[in-house]
């Protein structure tokens, strides 16, 4: 008899974005002439930087020549990309991250989910709420979450409300936790923590021997001075934090897949007997066993993002999306809606009008204005009464969407 991992059966019926896709498909089938503007899922619309395209073409030519052909590469990433990451993302900010602490992968989504492989089942996990669904769902799959209650909260997960009432700055856990998921700039709320606010979490982790899993996928969108680009800007973080970064939203790699995770060598976990074990070594073992590496041509494309022309092209794209975010944020505010985010982030978090639920507002926008957003409740119980919009559309669609949003009653 084939036994299954029964934790999977505890998950709700489908993934949030699958539900959205189904609703949009049904509406489109019934209204084939509708001009739907999609501001829901966080996919990008601008092409890859030209520097990356040129690098990929060159790398493809190399693969056609026996003398420059590449077969299996190092699972952790080629030196040329890892060194570019270290020099530009860390040493340029005065941060002492070494090449053997960087692991190139196919996405932060994968890594934030897979990191649980090296962590024990008895850890108490805390998440901010609302939160990126992958953090919760992968803990359910691994058996960390317990049972789902009638309040849509998992019995073994500690929820840390991040709401307008606390200015989207979650309070520290009342009881000791072992693993803390933080994402800043935040998905879905688009809000941030200052260096002093993030230091509170690092100090907590140091004092409690906790691990912070810090998702920094939207770091490139930071515009304000006091917002840290890396958790390692906080003293002591290298002993308590793993950082996840991605080229997806930064440089348009959503379809080409490249990211990286930093696991400092100072970071340790513990056996049940209290013996300290290097998490860097554990992740290296997991990474080299279960992952075969990002393709050579993709890594060359990612490396090109750090060239002078690549940096400018990436910055131009980021500014394009930030301008979209400003248009949406200001357009909604003029309507009298409460709006958050969109300053250091491509996400705009809007309070639903007229006491609508998240899904009611989603349906209203889809059916009446032909705009697709993401219901806030899909990100957790404290997301109820909100909707997430993204700035990743075209400028033309963004401007058209804001014109339609003026019709909200």
pLDDT digits (tens, 9 = 90+) for 142-171: 999 999 999 999 999 999 999 999 999 999
Q: Which of 186, 114, 231 is nearest to 383 (CA)?
A: 186
Q: What are phi and psi of 222, to 5 degrees?
A: -65, 130
Structure tokens that stand for 396 in this block: 């033309």
Which of 17, 40, 10, 139 is closest to 361 using CA atoms? 40
Average pLDDT over residues 69-93: 98
Q: Which pLDDT belongs to residue 40? A: 86
Residue with the two structure tokens 């989603």 = 362
Instruction: Report the DSSP pairing between strands 125-129 and 102-105.
Output: unpaired
pLDDT at 41 over 90: no
* CA 294-298-302 angle, 5° bins: 105
d(Cα 305, Cα 183) in Å, to the nearest integer?
Answer: 23
The three-state secondary structure class of 22 is helix
Residue 232: the pLDDT is 98
Q: pLDDT-based confidence at 17, cuts 50/70/90?
A: confident
Mean pLDDT rounded to a whole number for the chain: 96
**Beta bridge partner(s), residue 387:** 350, 375
CA distance 298 to 78: 11
Is the model's pLDDT at 409 over the cut of 80?
A: no
* List of domains in the chain: 6-47+309-405 (3.90.1150.10), 54-308 (3.40.640.10)
The answer, yes or no, to whether residue 187 has pLDDT greater than 80, is yes
**CA atoms within 13 Å, Cβ hemisphere of 308:** 0
Neighbours of 25 (CB within 10 A): 10
DSSP character string of 31-73? -TT---EE-SS----SPPPHHHHHHHHHHHHHHTSTTT---S-
Query: pTM value?
Result: 0.96
Residue whose C-alpha is closest to residue 14's, from 156, 133, 143, 155? 133
Which pLDDT value is given to residue 19?
85
Identify the helix (H) or strand (E) that includes residue 362. helix 358-364
- Given pLDDT bands bounded at 50, 70 and 90, which one contains residue 42? confident
Q: Which runs of E-coded beta strand occur in 5-156?
A: 37-38, 102-105, 125-129
Indicate if the pLDDT at residue 13 is higher than 90. Answer: no
Residue-wise pLDDT for 100-139, tens only, equals 999 999 999 999 999 999 999 999 999 999 999 999 999 9
Find the mean pLDDT for residues 196-206. 98
The DSSP bridge pattern shows strands 259-262 and 241-246 to be: antiparallel
Note the pLDDT of residue 178. 98
**pLDDT tens sequence across 352-371:** 999 999 999 999 999 999 99
């Amino acid at each position: 008899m084939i036994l299954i991992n029964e934790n999977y059966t505890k998950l709700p019926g489908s993934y949030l974005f699958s539900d959205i896709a189904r609703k949009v498909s049904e509406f489109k089938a019934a209204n084939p002439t509708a001009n739907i503007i999609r501001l829901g899922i966080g996919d990008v619309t601008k092409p890859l930087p030209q520097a990356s395209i040129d690098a990929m073409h060159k790398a493809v030519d190399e693969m056609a020549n026996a003398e420059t052909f590449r077969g299996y590469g190092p699972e952790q990433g080629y030196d040329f990309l890892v060194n570019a990451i270290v020099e530009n993302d860390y040493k340029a900010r005065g941060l002492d991250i070494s090449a053997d602490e960087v692991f190139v992968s196919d996405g932060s989504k994968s890594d934030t989910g897979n990191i649980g492989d090296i962590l024990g089942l008895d850890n108490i996990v805390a998440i901010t709420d609302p939160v990126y669904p992958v953090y919760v769902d992968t803990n359910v799959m691994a058996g960390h979450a317990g049972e789902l209650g009638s309040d849509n909260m998992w019995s073994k997960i500690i929820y840390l409300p991040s709401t307008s009432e606390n200015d989207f700055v979650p309070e520290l856990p009342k009881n000791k936790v072992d693993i803390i998921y933080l994402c800043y700039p935040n998905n879905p709320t688009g809000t941030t923590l200052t260096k002093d606010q993030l230091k509170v979490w690092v100090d907590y982790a140091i004092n409690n021997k906790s691990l912070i899993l810090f998702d920094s996928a939207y770091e490139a969108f930071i515009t304000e001075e006091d917002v840290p680009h890396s958790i390692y800007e906080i003293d002591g973080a290298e002993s308590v934090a793993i950082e996840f970064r991605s080229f997806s939203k930064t440089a348009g790699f959503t379809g080409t897949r490249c990211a990286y995770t930093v696991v400092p060598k100072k970071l340790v976990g513990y056996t049940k007997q209290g013996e300290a074990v290097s998490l860097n070594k554990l992740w290296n073992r997991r990474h080299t066993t279960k992952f075969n590496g990002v393709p050579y041509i993709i890594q060359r494309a990612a490396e090109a993002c750090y060239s002078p022309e690549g940096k400018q092209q990436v910055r131009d794209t980021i500014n394009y999306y930030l301008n979209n975010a400003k248009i949406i944020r200001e357009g909604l505010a003029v309507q009298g809606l409460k709006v958050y985010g969109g300053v250091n982030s491509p996400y705009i978090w809007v309070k639903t009008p007229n006491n609508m639920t998240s899904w009611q507002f989603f349906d209203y926008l889809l059916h009446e204005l032909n705009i697709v957003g993401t219901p806030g409740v899909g990100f957790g119980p404290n997301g109820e009464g909100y909707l997430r919009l993204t700035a990743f559309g075209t400028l033309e669609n963004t401007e058209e969407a804001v014109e339609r949003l003026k019709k909200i009653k």
